[in-house]
Every structure is written in structure tokens, then in C-alpha cells.
Amino acid sequence: MAAPHFLTLDRIRKDYGAFTAIREVSFSVAPGEFLGLLGPSGCGKTTTLQMIAGFEVPSRGRITMDGRDLTTVPAAKRGIGLVFQSYALFPHMTAAENVAFGLEMRWVSKAERIKRVAEALDMVHLAHLADRFPRQMSGGQQQRVALARALVIEPRLLLLDEPLSNLDAKLREEMQVELRELQRRIGVTTILVTHDQSEAMALCDRVAIMQGGRIVQIDAPWRAYDVPADDFVADFLGRSNRLPACAGGGQAEAGGHRFALPPDLADRQGDILLTIRPERLRIGNDGAAGLGGRVQSRLFLGGFWLYAVETALGSFAVMLQNTGTVPHDEGAPVTLNWDAHSLRRLERA
């Protein structure tokens, strides 16, 4: 049985004069779901978020939340919590005062405000910093204050606009874990806007990948990565190798190497463009069966080695787990191999 829809965008379009920023975008979000709007700068993800929040009005289409048409509902009346990239904290207010601000605007009694602010700060593990000003807190602590301020109003929908982009890599990773754990614990429906593929795949139940004002694929992160809809998705969600080949009889040939095709491509005939992720490739010694090549470069990434292997079909990225064995030398002749089930047919965007 399909999950019920909590938020629905139905053929949303946004025009700015002659420029169309959003083109017929439609998707639904289930209650408690964590959805990511993912794409490069200028693809329309923030504009989409702003229309959900009520800061922008769609030129066409409809947005409904729990069956209620939001088209004419002011932003302040939508029951939505927001966390921005800049956190937007008031510098002259303490953490507790920042968190309380939304409650004051809603005329919540002082006793109730004190109680809910304490609960919200405790939820993000900042109860001990209630009296500190933003300038006295780290970036991660400010981010958690902004999150507490969004959650204290008990929103039905939480919108996050690049909330972790100002943090350094280690802190961003730590906050991803905290944010996902918090979202699961409180169960609030959440939409995240990000250009960071790893962040979206780590946090979200589904990702909606946008390009040129359209959604090109909406899927579970692992499935979008493993079965990209087209070459744009394949490249945007990580490194991807193109493998042009000639198919026939359930097999294909590329660069003098003949190999099996997966069952779903077994009936293909003629030229075919395949893709394979770097971690699905294997490097063998020179002379073994496979696609011949030479190690062009190697990078040590701690847990992995990233190789560039030059072949007759171009350069291939290969990612191998660091098992403690001696790595392949730059310039060494090698062969590449893969399993048939790791191959995907690549559609043109």
C-alpha cells in the first residue's frame, strides 16, 4: 500500500519575466519523510523551496499540504520551520532568546515559552549554552541553535536550505549524523536543499535531482546512484566511467575486450553506451584477460586508492579498497575487469 502524501507539488512553474526558473515540477512527500532537492547552482532547487515556504508565488500549478491549498496562505501561517545557510541568528540575542523569538511572535505565554525553549535546546544538546550569544559559539553550535529555533514552533514541515555548507568537513560530517538522528527521533517531514551529493545521499530517504528547472530523477539515494536516469545524473552523483561498446548476442566488445552484458541488456544489438562506477572495476596485472591499460596516476585516500587508468577507450577512474597490499605503480601496464551486473546502459540527458 502506497504511503499517504503529506506535501504535494502539482505541475509547479515559476517565471521571472521571459526566464523560466521552474518547469512543471511535480512530486509528493510522505509524512515523516526526509527528501533532498539536489542539483548544481541555478537548477531551481532553492526557488522550489521558497515557493513551498511561501516566499515566492508559483506562476502556475498548485502546492498542497495535508490536503490544504497553500497558494494564498502567507508564509507565517503555513506552520513551516526554516533553517537557512547563514543560520540568520540575531547577534544581540542569546541562544535561548533566539529560540524563543518565534514563540513570542505567536503570542505564546512566558511560562510555556520557557518550557519549550528548554526542551528545544536540550533536543539539540545545547541546554548548557542557553545564555551565550552567537559570537560566543562555534559554527556547529550556531547551526544547532538555528535548528532548535525552527523546531520549537513544532512545525509540520521543516525546510533546510544548505544548512551545513558553512561548516568544515569534519564538523559537517558530525552534524549530518546528528541531524539525521534528530529528524528520525521527532519524525518531522523534512526537505533539504543541497548541492552536496554525499550530504543528500547520507541524510535523505529520497533525492529529487534537478537540472535546468526540472526534476530529472526522484528515487532512493542508492538507486539513483546505482541506476542513474541519464548521463547528467550519473556524473552528478559521483564519478562515472563511460564505456562505448558494440553489442550482440548477449555480449559486447570494447577496445578488443569481449564481455557479457547484464540480462536486461542481453537483447541489445549494435552500438551501446554503458556506464560503470569506479568502485565496480578491478585492476589486474598486465597480460591477464580484460581491457588493457596503463596506470596514469594514483591518489591515496586513506581507506581507498583512486587510480586513473588510460586505455584505448580513454581514461577510467578506478577506486580500490586499501587492503594494505602494495599499490600499483604509476606507469604500470594493467588490465581492467568488471562483473556484468555492474554495467548500466547510459541514456543521454
pLDDT in tens, 152-168: 888 899 999 988 887 77
Q: What is the pLDDT of residues 23-72, one digit of tens each?
A: 999 999 999 999 999 999 999 999 999 999 999 999 999 999 998 999 88
What is the residue-averaged pLDDT of the chain?
91
349 pLDDT tier (thresholds 50, 70, 90): low
More confident residue, 218 or 109: 218
Give the Cα separation of 157 and 191 in Å (integer).
Answer: 8
| Predicted local distance difference test score (pLDDT) of residue 3 | 54
Q: What is the pLDDT of residues 254-292, one digit of tens each?
A: 988 899 999 999 999 999 999 999 999 999 987 777 899
| Predicted local distance difference test score (pLDDT) of residue 1 | 41
| Predicted local distance difference test score (pLDDT) of residue 125 | 86
- Which domains, ranges and CATH numbers included, belong to the chain? 7-236 (3.40.50.300), 241-345 (2.40.50.140)
179 pLDDT tier (thresholds 50, 70, 90): confident
Q: Please give the share of the chain, as a percent, with pLDDT higher than 70.
A: 98
pLDDT at 111 over 80: yes
Whether the Cβ atoms of residue 334 and residue 293 lie closer than 8 Å to each other: yes
Whether the Cβ atoms of residue 334 and residue 283 lie closer than 8 Å to each other: yes
3-state percent helix, strand, coil for the chain, nearest multiple of 5: 30, 35, 35
105 CB-contact burial (10 Å; exposed 0-12 / middle 13-18 / buried 19+)? exposed
Q: What is the pLDDT of residues 204-231, one digit of tens each?
A: 999 999 999 999 999 999 999 999 999 9
| Predicted local distance difference test score (pLDDT) of residue 154 | 86
Nine-digit cell at 93?
540575542
Residue 127: helix, strand or coil by DSSP?
helix
| Predicted local distance difference test score (pLDDT) of residue 79 | 87
